[in-house]
Amino acid sequence: MKMTDTELLSVPAGPADDPARMARILTGFEEGFDALARIGKAVTVFGSSRTPREDPDYDLARRLGAELAGQGFTVITGGGPGIMAANRGAKEAGGTSVGLA
């Protein structure tokens, strides 16, 4: 059944209509941005979490993380497996790594 414009725009009240919830969400964003601002120079490595350890790209990501850490960069990833092994390389090189979930 096709809806009219009026029906489409008549959305029931939802989470966005709850000022307290919106304030909590905003606080979460502010805290996250404040934490990231204190990290200093950083590089984000983004890639598949499904890359197996035996894949050459896994080792490449790990070596990249180590190299970035050696240059003084914090390495930021999603903190999971696969290409996010860049965090592992950074840690193994004595650098700082951040996993965001």
pLDDT tens digits along 2-21 = 878 888 788 676 776 788 98
Instruction: Please give the single-letter amino acid code of residue 82.
Output: G
**Rounded mean pLDDT of 38-62?**
96
- Confidence (pLDDT) at 13: 67
Topology (CATH) of 41-101: Rossmann fold (3.40.50)
Single-letter code of the amino acid located at 32: G
DSSP string, 59-92: HHHHHHHHHHHHTTPEEEE-SSSGGGGHHHHHHH
Closest CA to 77 of 97, 58, 95, 93: 97
Q: SS3 of 29, please?
A: helix
Tell me the domain boundaries of the chain: 41-101
Q: Report pTM.
A: 0.74
pLDDT tens digits, 71-96: 999 999 998 899 999 999 999 999 99
More confident residue, 85 or 101: 85
How long, in residues, is the chain? 101
